[in-house]
Chain A
């Protein structure tokens, strides 16, 4: 059986004869959404971490993202090939409205940054904490961006979607996404101690 290339690193590869995301969405039953979850849980979980800088909050956010998709399935028809841009958009909405505040609160509660996914090696932990601290700095700067730019940054720079996918997700022209990203980079450079936010 040939495997399709995943459309996003972190999304599970699926057989080329497997039903498309749109078909699964249209079926709308528990099994179909279970398959969508299997395809994109890892991608959404990683994106959720980049939106919150907290692995435990990322778990809650991932669950909430898929639950939102499930609850709204009857009123939506997926017209794109991939559900991922929309899932990322949902995660962004939820992160802003609820989960980022929760992550901040959780950190305050613990009085120090925590890495909720334990690693054995001390260097790994230290490196991870450093990443987490810097990610928080980035997120705080991103939060200060104008909304339109913040949306674009979350999808393109943090989510690593293409500008075309982000444009679809935001319902704007691709050129608008590009200019928002450009303006956002300029602002972020002024705010952050490092030069810029790079896409890996």
Chain B
């Protein structure tokens, strides 16, 4: 049986008039546009999506690139020197794109930093000459180099924001650039083709093919802790991934601190993070080198009547081939009252594990009762009703027992 789309209806006149927006707006509202937090460079973006070219409003003041250039910290410099394997490398200029920093060296080399990585041009990478200027650095998110003399704006061609990104239709937030007399940097959202056309003050310049893998990527942590499996660094990897893949605003990823984790030693579990007293988030890690994007818990219920499940994911996966996955444990994240003493979670009547507990949240790696099970997809949830929970109060009295919903 096939599903036919609902037939279109003729729009009744009264509904049409009821829906008609008030196309009247104070003149001031037409010219002032507040910028998204990530978008700072003015006069540098153009987007074609849905047959629409989005350009800078003519009323915008074009900010010179040097306004956005700041001095890198000693730590930023140290991370770049390590990545470049050149302890004498010098830089006094850095542009910040959300969670990404790009340093411009006095020798015109670039160094790109996120919270968990440092990227520099591969040794064999040769600068690519343009008609005027050159490209001296290219990663999967950044194009940088020397602009033609007198350039005040730079952008790339045809860049569409990922359609899933919030806030919807705010393309300026996702294509950003900085240009100064001595260098330019373009940050790219989404997939970048190997031969983008760059526009220097609207003069197109087709670039020769450059691999997106022209940069060397190394682990390097803003925390200063070199241990890639420490909580703070796993969190850094999670927020980097959230920044690059989910489009969440940078300010939403600032100032998080890890609180508790489960499965840290095995490298398979989840961590809970906190920002202030009221905001919480989590991320899973299958092994500490490849955690999932950080997720912010939007709806935190205070003192729930009974424990509830916030999220679950299989975190002990074995790939048996093209499409067969076996899972041995699920990691669950849930919420209970803040005065809870202990929480035990089990798969049906399988072995119970005591959850990690903090701030009314609990995290547990729950082994499957029957050992491993096959999954169709790596993110298949457990069937409803399988998880059993026992909550005890501070006096070790059972306060709740039953299905974890």
A41 to B52, Cβ gap below 8 A? no
> What 0/1 pattern do residues 95 to 121 of B give for CB contact below 8 A with A?
000000000000000000000000000
- The B contact surface, by secondary structure, is loop
For chain B, residues 26 to 56, give those with C-beta under 8 angstroms from any C-beta of chain A.
29-31, 33, 47-56
A72 to B169, Cβ gap below 8 A? yes
Interface centre among B16, B29, B31, B57 (most CB of A within 10 A): B16
Known: A63-B19, A74-B31, A170-B163. A138 touches B49 (CB 8 A): no
For chain A, residues 16 to 40, give those with C-beta under 8 angstroms from any C-beta of chain B.
28, 30, 33-34, 37
In the complex, chain B residues whose CB is within 8 Å of the CB of A73: 30
Interface size, chain B (Cβ < 8 Å): 47
Q: How far is the CB of B34 from chain A (nearest CB, A)?
A: 11
B11 to A171, Cβ gap below 8 A? no
Q: How far is the CB of B48 from chain A (nearest CB, A)?
A: 7
Give the residue of A97, A172, A196 whose beta carbon is less than 8 angstroms from that of B166. A97
A196 to B49, Cβ gap below 8 A? no
Q: How far is the CB of A62 from chain B (nearest CB, A)?
A: 5
A90 to B160, Cβ gap below 8 A? no
Known: A66-B21, A70-B21, A94-B168. A79 touches B6 (CB 8 A): no
A75 to B6, Cβ gap below 8 A? no
In the complex, chain B residues whose CB is within 8 Å of the CB of A30: 23-24
B52 to A76, Cβ gap below 8 A? yes
The answer to the question of A125 belonging to the interface, with a C-beta cut-off of 8 Å to chain B, is no
Interface size, chain A (Cβ < 8 Å): 70
For chain B, residues 1 to 26, give those with C-beta under 8 angstroms from any C-beta of chain A.
1-12, 15-16, 18-21, 23-25
Provide 30 A-B residue pairs closer than 8 Å at the C-beta atoms, listed in order of the A residue.
A34-B20, A37-B20, A42-B10, A42-B11, A45-B16, A70-B21, A74-B30, A74-B33, A75-B55, A77-B53, A77-B54, A79-B52, A80-B50, A92-B163, A96-B164, A117-B15, A135-B5, A148-B163, A151-B163, A160-B5, A170-B49, A170-B50, A171-B47, A171-B50, A171-B160, A172-B160, A194-B3, A195-B3, A197-B2, A198-B4
Interface residues in chain A, defined as those with a beta carbon under 8 Å from any beta carbon in chain B: 9-10, 28, 30, 33-34, 37, 41-42, 45-46, 49-50, 59, 62-63, 66-68, 70-83, 85-86, 88-90, 92-94, 96-97, 117, 128, 131-132, 134-135, 138, 147-148, 151, 157-158, 160, 168-172, 192-200
